Structures are given as structure tokens and as C-alpha cells.
Amino acid sequence: MPSILEGNEQNPNIVKMKACKLDDRQRKHIQHELKVYMEQYFKKKLGKGVDYTKVVIWEDMLIIRGERFLTDPEIYIVQTPAGKEVVRAARMQVAWQHSIDNTSYFEEIFQAKAIHQTYDIEPETDFWIHVIVFDRMLTE
């Protein structure tokens, strides 16, 4: 597939998009490449990947969500109210670090500035989400 992307040291398959709006085919391609990248990122950083990852590029947003990311000890700890908060706090630290590690990478890919982002962890349902809003429309 002809790509609007160029190689990069973080991920040679995707990197820098020309500052244009993605058509549906381009959007799906980048979503898939980012999904693979995120799975590799968490496997490398935590030693355990996310069992289910979904990446959605929509209008001016990048939405990354994951399910079944907790380790067996964390699943056990989450069964108590105090344990749920301990795991949530620890995993929020991981989410914060993910944001530090990857926001500039996402900005480079989309040639857009991240103007707002939020992330949340729900340890009781083994779910996390990261949403980034950019300063321009990414999709047609």
C-alpha cells in the first residue's frame, strides 16, 4: 500500500504523516500500525502485553484502549476495595509514563500538537483508555 508515512527509529512502519486529513483506508492502516506498536510498547515496558488493544482515529482524536492487562497478582489484589485503589494508582503511574514516552511520537506521526489528553484505569474491569485531542482534524 502506498503510504503517507516515512520510517522512524521508534517504529519503522509508521512515523510521520504529511499534515493532511486521512482517508478511510489510511486511517485504518495507521490504526493497525499503532495497535501493534502499543502492544509491543507495553510488552517491552511491563513484560506483559495487553490481551486486547483497540486504536481509533476519529476527527481530531486518537483513542487507545486496552483490556485484560493486569497480571495475576494484580487480579488477586483488585478483589478488595483497598487493593483496587493500590492497583489503580500503580497503573495510573504506568499510563502517565506511557503519555510521557509517546505523546511526542504521536504528534510527529500526525504532524499535529496534542492540546488535551486524559487516561483512566478501571482495575475492577481490567480496562484502560487514553484519549488525545489534537489541534487539527486528522480524518476527512
In a domain, 140, yes or no: no
pLDDT digits (tens, 9 = 90+) for 82-110: 999 999 999 999 889 999 999 999 999 99
In a domain, 19, yes or no: no
CA 80 to chain centre: 28
Task: Report helix, strand or coil for 28.
Answer: helix
CB contact at 8 A, 117 and 110: no
In a domain, 45, yes or no: yes
Is the pTM value of this prediction over 0.85?
no
In a domain, 128, yes or no: yes
What are phi and psi for residue 18, nearest 5 degrees? -65, 145
Number of domains composing the chain: 1
**pLDDT grade for 42, boundaries at 50, 70 and 90:** confident
User: What is the domain extent for residue 37?
Assistant: 24-134
Residue 77 has pLDDT above 80, yes or no: yes
Q: Which residue in this structure is represented by grid cell 486518537?
A: 62
Task: Report helix, strand or coil for 38.
Answer: helix
Report pLDDT for 11: 52
